[in-house]
Amino acid sequence: MPDDPNRDLLDLIPLRGEAIHEGYVKVKLAHARGFTVLLPDLLIADLGGWRWFQPQYFSAPLLSFFDDAGHAEFNIEPAPGVKLLIGITRDRLVRSYADGSFLYRCRLAGPKRLKAFAAGTCSLDANHTVWLDLFHHTSADAAAAIRASEHFRGSRWNIQGTKRLTNVEYAYFTSLPRISSRKHLERIAMATDGALRLITTNGVAPRDILSIKVYRESTLNRRNTIRLRVPADTVAPQHVWRHDANDQPTYYEASHPAIFRVGLEPGTVLPFADGAVDLARAALKRFDYAVLGFATTHAGLVAPYDEEDTRELFKIERCEEDGDLFAYWRRHHDQDLYTGRRIEQQAFEGPTA
Q: How confident is the model at residue 58 (pLDDT cuts 50, 70, 90)?
A: very high
Q: What is the pLDDT of residues 113-165, one digit of tens each?
A: 899 999 999 999 999 999 999 999 999 999 999 999 999 999 999 999 999 99
260: nearest Cα among 165, 142, 133: 133
CA 71/CA 49 separation, integer angstroms: 28
pLDDT, position 86:
96
Structural contact between residues 107 and 45, judged by C-beta atoms closer than 8 angstroms: no
What's the whole-number mean pLDDT along residues 253-277? 97
Q: What is the pLDDT of residue 2?
A: 43
Q: How confident is the model at residue 351 (pLDDT cuts 50, 70, 90)?
A: low
Which of 76, 74, 92 lies closest to 128, judged by CA?
92
Q: What angle do CA 324, 40, 314 make, to 5 degrees?
A: 80
Contact status, residue 289 vs residue 343, Cβ threshold 8 Å: yes
Report the mean per-residue pLDDT for the chain: 93
CA–CA distance, 315 with 168 (Å, rounded to integer): 18
Q: How far apart are CA 217 and CA 10, in angstroms?
A: 48
Specify the amino acid at residue 7. R
Nearest to 237 by CA among 179, 153, 317: 317
Instruction: Compute φ and ψ for 144, nearest 5 degrees.
Output: -65, -40
SS3 assignment, position 23: strand
**CA neighbor of 225 nearest in space, from 138, 152, 157:** 138
